[in-house]
A and B are shown apart, each in its own frame.
Chain A
Amino acid sequence: MAALSRKWDPLFVLVLGSLVFSCKGDVLKTSNDRTESISATKIEESSPQAADLGDLRQSDEAESNEDRKAFTPPPPNDQFQEEMVIRPLYSGDIYASFQFRTQWDTDFLHDGKKVSHYRLFPKSLGQVLSKFSVRELHISFTQGYWRTMQWGQPFIPSPPGAELWVWFHHTVTDVDGNWKELTNVLSGIFCASLNFIDSTNTVEPSASFKPLGLGNATDHRFLRYATLPREIVCTENLTPWKKLLPCGSKAGLAVLMKSEKLFHSSFHSQAVHIRPVCKDWQCTSTAWELRQTLNVVFDLYTSGQGKKEWSLFKMFSRTLTEACPLASSSKIYVDVTDNPGGELFDLSPSSPLISTAVVLGDRRTYSVYDLTKKETFGQLRSLNLLLRWKGESDDMLRPPLHAERYVSGFGLQKGEIHTCLYNSHPYRAYPVLLLDSLPWYLRLYVHTLTVTSKTRENKPSYIHYQPSKDRLRPHLLEMLVQLPPHSVTEVTVQFERALLKWTEYTPDPNHGFYIGSSVISALVPSIVAMDTNSTRDRPLFSSFFPTKEESSYFMRVYTEPLLVNLPTPDFSMPYNVICLTCTVVAVGYGSFYNLLTRTFQVDEPSAPLAKRLANIIRRLRGVPLL
Chain B
Amino acid sequence: SLISLTSVAFLLRGNCKHVRTKDSPPNICGFNLILVPDIKICRLVNVKTVIPMVQLLNWRRGLFPQTKMAAPLTLVLILSVTIRAVLFRSSLAELISERVEVVSPLNAWKRGLFCYYVLQENNISLFFQTPLVIYLFHFVVDYAEIVFMIVDGITAVALYLAVQNYNKNVFRKQKYALEADRYPHDCLELMRSPKEMHYIPLKVAMFYLLNPFTILSCVAKSTCGLNNAVMALFILSTLKGSALLSAIFLALATYQSIYPLTLFAPGLLFLLQRLYIPVNPCRSRFWFFTVQYSVMFIGSLLVIVCLSFFLLGSWDFIPSVYGFILSVPDLTPNIGLFWYFFAEMFEHFRFFFICVFQINVFFYTIPLSVKLKEHPVFLIFMQIAIISIFKSYPTVGDIALYMAFLPVWSHLYRFLRNIFLVSCVLLACTALFPVLWHLWIYAGSANSNFYYAITLLFNVGQILLVSDYFYAYLRREHHLSQGLYLRRKDGSEATLVLK
Instruction: Point out residues on A near B: beta carbons under 8 Å.
Output: 1-2, 4-5, 410-414, 445-447, 463-467, 470-471, 496, 498-503, 567-570, 573-574, 577-578, 580-581, 584-585, 587-589, 591-592, 594-604
Q: Is the CB of B488 within 8 A of A602?
A: yes
A-B interface, 6 closest residue pairs, ranked by CB to CB distance from nearest: A447-B117, A591-B467, A598-B498, A602-B494, A577-B344, A411-B442
B343 CB contact (under 8 Å) in A500, A595, A596: A500
Query: Nearest chain-B residue to A567 (Cβ)?
Result: B441
B448 touches A570 (CB 8 A): yes
B456's nearest neighbour on chain A, judged by CB, is A584
B196: interface (CB < 8 Å):
no
Which residues of the partner chain A approach B277 to less than 8 Å between Cβ atoms? none
Residue numbers in A under 8 Å from B441 (CB-CB): 411-413, 567
CB pair A592 B331 closer than 8 Å:
no
A570/B332 in contact, CB under 8 A = no
| B329 at interface, CB cutoff 8 A | yes
Query: What mask results when residues 338 to 382 of chain B are scored 1 for a CB within 8 Å of chain A, else 0?
Result: 011111111100000000010010001001100100000000000
CB distance from A502 to the nearest CB of B (A): 5
Q: A465-B121, A501-B331 are in contact. List 7 more A-B contacts (CB 8 A).
A: A446-B114, A502-B343, A502-B344, A567-B441, A592-B367, A597-B367, A598-B498
Known: A446-B117, A581-B456. A465 touches B122 (CB 8 A): yes
* Segment at the interface with A among B23-31, B81-89, B470-478: B470-478
Docked complex Cα distance between A604 and B360 (Å): 35
- Is B390's CB within 8 Å of the partner chain A? yes
Contact: A584 with B343, CB < 8 Å? no
List the A side residues contacting B124 at CB < 8 Å: 465-467
Q: What are 20 A-to-B residue pairs whose CB atoms are below 8 Å? A: A446-B114, A446-B117, A446-B118, A447-B116, A464-B122, A466-B124, A470-B329, A499-B332, A499-B343, A568-B447, A569-B340, A570-B447, A584-B459, A587-B460, A588-B360, A592-B368, A600-B499, A602-B486, A602-B487, A603-B496
A411 to B438, CA, bound (A): 9
Measured between C-beta atoms, what is the minimum distance from A163 to chain B in Å? 26
Give A470 to B360 CA distance when docked, in angstroms: 25
From residue B468, how far is it (CB to closest CB) to chain A in Å? 9
Partner of B123, one of A5, A412, A445: A5
> B residues within 8 A CB of A568?
447-448
Report B126 CB to chain A, min CB distance, Å: 5
Note all chain A residues with C-beta closer than 8 A to B447.
568, 570
Shortest CB–CB separation between residue B310 and chain A, in angstroms?
A: 16
Is B496 touching A602 in the complex (CB atoms < 8 A)?
A: yes
Among A470, A471, A569, the most chain B Cβ lie within 10 Å of the Cβ of: A569
Residue of A nearest to B339 (CB): A499
Nearest CB of A to B154, in Å = 28
Tell whether, in the assembled complex, residue A465 and residue B118 are in contact, meaning their CB atoms are under 8 Å apart. yes
Cβ contacts under 8 Å, A588 to chain B: 360, 389-390, 459, 463, 467
A464 CB, min distance to chain B CBs, angstroms: 8
Minimum Cβ distance to chain A for residue B429 (Å): 13
Q: Is the CB of A567 within 8 A of B117?
A: no
Asked whether any CB of chain A lies closer than 8 Å to the CB of B98, the reply is yes
Known: A501-B345, A600-B475. A585 touches B331 (CB 8 A): no
Count class of interface residues, chain B: 35 or more
CB proximity to A under 8 Å, residues B443-499 = 447-449, 452, 456, 459-460, 463-464, 467, 470-471, 474-475, 478, 482, 486-489, 494-499
Q: How far is the CA of A2 from the CA of B124 in the complex (A)?
A: 10
Nearest A residue to B367 via CB reads A596
B380 shortest CB reach to chain A, Å: 16
Q: How far is the CA of A411 from the CA of B445 in the complex (A)?
A: 12
Q: Does B419 contact A (CB under 8 A)?
A: no
Binding site for A on B (CB under 8 A): 98, 100, 110-111, 113-114, 116-124, 126, 329-333, 337, 339-347, 357, 360, 364, 367-368, 371, 389-390, 440-442, 447-449, 452, 456, 459-460, 463-464, 467, 470-471, 474-475, 478, 482, 486-489, 494-499
A585→B467 contact, CB < 8 A: no
Query: B126 contacts which chain A residues (CB < 8 A)?
Result: 467
CA A499 – CA B390 in complex, angstroms?
20
Max count, chain A CB within 10 A of own CB: residue among B119, B452, B460: B452
Q: Is the beta-carbon distance between A600 and B331 smaller than 8 angstroms?
A: no
Contact partner of A577 (CB less than 8 A), chosen from B113, B117, B452, B474, is: B452
Nearest-neighbour CB distance to chain A for B481, whole angstroms, equals 10
Are B98 and A413 within 8 A (Cβ)?
Answer: yes
Q: Does A499 lie within 8 Å of B331, measured CB to CB?
A: yes
Residue of B119, B340, B494 with highest tally of chain A CB at under 10 A: B340
For B98, what are the chain A residues with a Cβ–Cβ distance below 8 Å?
413-414
> Whole-angstrom distance from the CB of A385 to the nearest CB of chain B?
53
Cβ contact within 8 Å between A501 and B342: yes
**Given A2-B123, A465-B122, A602-B494, also A578-B341 (CB < 8 A):** yes
Q: Hey, which chain A residues are within 8 Å of B494, CB to CB? A: 602-603
Does the CB pair A589–B360 fall under 8 Å?
Answer: yes
Cα of A445 to Cα of B111 in the assembled complex, Å: 8
- Whether B113 and A447, one on each chain, are in contact in the complex, defined by CB atoms closer than 8 angstroms, is yes
- In contact, B367 and A599 (Cβ under 8 angstroms): no
CA A410 – CA B440 in complex, angstroms? 12
Give the docked Cα–Cα distance between A135 and B17 (Å): 89
Q: Which of A447, A503, A578 has the most CB of B within 10 A?
A: A447
Across the two chains, which residue of chain A brings its CB closest to B471?
A: A595
B123 touches A578 (CB 8 A): no
In the assembled complex, the CB of B457 is this many whole angstroms from the nearest CB of chain A, namely: 9
Rounded to whole Å, the gap between the CB of A210 and the closest CB of chain B is: 21
Nearest-CB distance from A583 to chain B (Å)?
Answer: 8
User: Whole-angstrom distance from the CB of B97 to the nearest CB of chain A?
Assistant: 11
Residue of A nearest to B347 (CB): A503
Q: Contacts of A591 on B, CB cut-off 8 Å?
A: 463-464, 467, 470
Do A574 and B346 have beta carbons less than 8 Å apart?
yes
> Nearest chain A CB to B135's CB is how many angstroms away?
12
With a cutoff of 8 Å between Cβ atoms, the chain A residues found around residue B116 in the complex are 447
With beta carbons under 8 angstroms apart, the residue of B121, B368, B464, B470 that contacts A463 is B121
Find out whether the CB atom of A600 lies under 8 angstroms from the CB atom of B478.
yes
- Whether B448 and A569, one on each chain, are in contact in the complex, defined by CB atoms closer than 8 angstroms, is yes
Cβ contact within 8 Å between B120 and A578: no
Of all chain B residues, the one with the shortest Cβ separation from A571 is B344
Shortest beta-carbon distance from B133 to chain A in Å = 16
Q: In the complex, which of the residues B120, B364, B488, B495 contacts A1, with contact meaning CB atoms closer than 8 Å?
A: B120
Chain A residues lying within 8 Å of B452, measured Cβ to Cβ, are 577
- Bound CA span A503–B343, Å: 8
Give CA–CA (A603, B497) in the complex, Å: 6
Partner of B474, one of A447, A467, A470, A595: A595
Q: How far is the CB of B12 from chain A (nearest CB, A)?
A: 34
* Complex Cα gap A412–B117 (Å): 25
Residues of A contacting B498 in the complex (Cβ-Cβ under 8 angstroms): 594-595, 598-601
Q: Which residues of A contact B368 (CB under 8 A)?
A: 592, 596
Between A496, A502, A587, A588, the greatest number of chain B beta carbons within 10 A of the residue's beta carbon is seen for A588
- Measured CA separation A503–B463 after assembly (Å): 31
What's the minimum C-beta distance from A569 to chain B, rounded to whole angstroms?
Answer: 5
Question: B residues within 8 A CB of A567?
Answer: 333, 440-441, 448
Write out the residue numbers on chain A whose beta carbons fall within 8 Å of the beta carbon of B121: 1, 4-5, 463, 465
* Chain A: minimal CB distance from B73 (Å): 34
Q: Are A596 and B331 in contact (CB under 8 A)?
A: no
Contacts of B342 in A (CB 8 A): 501
